[in-house]
Amino acid sequence: MTEQEITLRPVDEDSLEACASLKCREEQIEFTNSPIWSLLQTAYTSIAGKCRIYAVWHQDEVVGMVRLDFTLHDGYYMFTNLLIHRDHQRKHYGENAVARVLEEFRRDGRYDRVKLHVAPGNAGAIALYEKVGFRCLGKTADGNFLEYEIEI
């Protein structure tokens, strides 16, 4: 598979229902937010306008979604809630989606770093982020997550 097969598109009428219906694997439930919560949070909370939520498309099918935080933090970008539907995992879609995320941030051009937080027990996510070049900075201030960073 080539990276060009994955695209990020803002969630809209064509992708909203598919995004709301995304499901993770049973062993991932404790590590992820509901896609419906992510959609509502992006539209109706204090972060609205500071981030964007994207559908992850493979050709003509929504296979996941991700939230990109452009101005929620000073000095760096952050992305959260990357979810690839359970039927589409282990096909390199997550890795390719992260590559598209980094391209979006580079295009924006405000910052030169991207951070993310991941639960220490989420081995799949940790392996993905380390594979694409994120490095662990240690635990977050509250001790609940590991903080990762990459320069773009």
36 versus 4: the higher-pLDDT residue is 36
Distances (CA, A) of 41 to 51, 94, 116: 10, 22, 18
> What does the pLDDT read at residue 1?
46
* Among 36, 25, 112, 90, residue whose Cα is nearest residue 67: 36
The overall pTM is greater than 0.75: yes
pLDDT category of residue 150 using cuts at 50, 70 and 90:
very high
DSSP secondary structure code for residue 52 in this structure? E
Average of per-residue pLDDT across 32-54? 90
* Among 77, 49, 68, 95, residue whose Cα is nearest residue 9: 68
Sign for the pseudo-dihedral over CA of 124, 126, 127, 131: positive
**Phi/psi-derived region of residue 34, left when phi > 0, alpha when psi is between -120 and 50, beta in every other case:** beta
Average of per-residue pLDDT across 31-35? 86
60 versus 33: the higher-pLDDT residue is 60
* Among 87, 85, 114, residue whose Cα is nearest residue 98: 114
> What does the pLDDT read at residue 4?
55
Chain mean pLDDT for the chain: 93
> At 124, which amino acid appears?
G
| Tokens at 63, concatenated | 């296979």
